[in-house]
Amino acid sequence: MKSRVSQIRYLDVTDEKVADIILKLQIPSYMVEAKLINFYDIPPIKDTVETLQNCGEKFFGYFIGNELCGAISFKVEGKTLDIHRLTVHPNHFRKGIANQLLAFIEEQVEGMKKLIVSTGSENKPAIEFYLQRGFTVEKVVQVNEQLSLTCFEKKMAK
């Protein structure tokens, strides 16, 4: 039986083919979140290849063999790393992929004072995920009648 090696590697989202592959991972993942929070107007569902290419985020992907199974993206502002996306394809839920992507990013944040991330307040699995990994709730933002976001922060060791 052939071994399917998993690895995390940089994704050049400005490459049209790479952006398309990320989109094919991202949309099914965010559709699961949309169902959980009962709100289907979340921006990542509306992304296109072009909007991904121009988002200004740095992406890393989790691969099993040649298949992109998960991705994380972020922007750095000063000493803060802002996680914009942490997605896993529904076919690969509960395999520890999100945990490995987050751990990978935490290893790359030398000089960062904190990590921040937000998710829909009704997305209980994501909230538990961040709390279990040392994030604390900083605030809850009411976006509109249907949607509130829970914002998390994790201070990094000096």
Q: What is the per-residue pLDDT for 158?
A: 60
For helices 124-132 and 16-37, angle between their N-to-C axes, nearest 10 degrees: 110
Share in percent of the chain as helix, strand, coil (round to 5): 35, 35, 30
Q: What is the per-residue pLDDT for 91?
A: 95
Structure tokens at 41: 């107007």
Question: How would you write the pLDDT of the chain (158 residues) with one tens digit per residue?
Answer: 344 567 999 999 999 999 999 999 999 999 999 998 888 998 899 999 999 999 999 999 999 999 999 999 999 999 999 999 999 999 999 999 999 999 999 988 788 999 999 999 999 999 999 999 999 999 999 988 889 999 999 998 76
Is 71 within 8 Å of 87 (Cβ atoms)? yes
- Residue 52: name the closest of 77, 80, 20 by CA: 20
Q: Domains of the chain, with CATH numbers? A: 6-155 (3.40.630.30)
Q: What is the pTM of this model?
A: 0.92
Q: What is the per-residue pLDDT for 5?
A: 67
Q: What is the per-residue pLDDT for 2?
A: 43
Q: What is the per-residue pLDDT for 146?
A: 86
